[in-house]
Amino acid sequence: MIWCLLRAILIYCLLLLNVSPVVCDSKPPFEIKVFTQLIQPGSIAYLSLNSQVPLSRIECSFLDRNALFFKSPDTFSWKALIGVDLETSPGDYLLTGTIWTVNGHSIAIQKAIRIRSKKFTIQRIRVNQKYVTLSPKNSERAIKEAQKLEAIWKKITPERIWKDSFVRPLSSRLTSGFGRRRIVNGETRSPHSGVDLKAKRGTSIKATNAGKVVLAEHLFFAGKTVVLDHGLGLYTVYAHCSKMMVKVGQTVALGEIIGKVGSTGRVTGPHLHWACRLGGSRVNPMNLTGINFFN
């Protein structure tokens, strides 16, 4: 009752001063949704931004990396895939950025995203030291190849190349999961940044989606390796091939055969090491196949 009286007095005073009352609407002209139910280290978060007005562009960042949105034909609905690196600490993080309307107006956006904790398998093994210590020549080669791959991850194709949902490159079981920590002779090694799929030598490897071949090369650790650029900072990796059936610069379609399973590189038997980089983050490639891009 008192509030209504005070409100009436305020409006009356504004009318006397010939000032129109300002109506505050706390609801922004857009909505951000996170489709991924559980986001953990190594996850791929699938987001949408729905606007009441058509947008011309969106610039966002999350975890100090660019979050690249792709638009629907009507420019009212935009979506993004965001990678959470496998060594990200759990906690609440902010997606921040700016959206621009087709009329040139800019609006700041912010969305809190929670990253839950995840425990990865730890494997402890002991082997003859000669199998883990590289010669100066091999060490130099491995370092150069790692630098070459890092340069690839930093290149962002601004448009989306993939079109439909992703598929697995092989129909086989996992023999080594994503994020496994290996301690060799008491020394901690880099975590397993992909998954290993069991298969016989010569089994055909499919492209998990449309993409452009940016690497087809025999690497020291990974052996004969194919890397596909799917656009917007998304890359998939196919390692230890016995045969590579594509060349750099070639565009491949979803499901196209790009190589054959083998055991090249530093491995003990034939299998496919399948990995994924998103915005430079090491993420579980298995998460790709669970995203429904029609949401």
**Which residue range(s) make up the domain with 204?**
122-290
- Alpha-carbon distance of 279 to 277, in angstroms, equals 6
Boundary (domain end) residue, out of 55, 86, 115: 115
Q: For residue 131, what are its two tokens?
A: 């199998």
**Within a domain: residue 17?**
no
Same domain, 193 and 266: yes
What is the pLDDT at residue 185? 76
Q: What is the mean pLDDT of the chain?
A: 88
Same domain, 126 and 107: no
pLDDT digits (tens, 9 = 90+) for 146-197: 999 999 999 999 999 998 899 999 998 888 889 988 888 777 778 899 999 9
What is the pLDDT at residue 29? 83
- Alpha-carbon distance of 138 to 256, in angstroms, equals 33
Same domain, 38 and 156: no
* Residue 229's CATH number: 2.70.70.10
- Alpha-carbon distance of 9 to 6, in angstroms, equals 5
Boundary (domain end) residue, out of 98, 115, 132: 115
- Alpha-carbon distance of 110 to 121, in angstroms, equals 34
Q: Which residues contact 280 (CB under 8 A, 6 or more apart)?
A: 65, 83, 85, 153, 154, 233
What is the pLDDT at residue 44? 96
pLDDT digits (tens, 9 = 90+) for 246-256: 999 999 999 99
Radius of gyration for the alpha carbons in the chain, expressed in angstroms and rounded: 25
- Alpha-carbon distance of 119 to 134, in angstroms, equals 30
Give 213-262 as a DSSP string.
EEEEEEETTTEEEEEEEEETTEEEEEEEEEEE---TT-EE-TT-EEEEEB
Same domain, 203 and 110: no
Boundary (domain end) residue, out of 82, 97, 115: 115
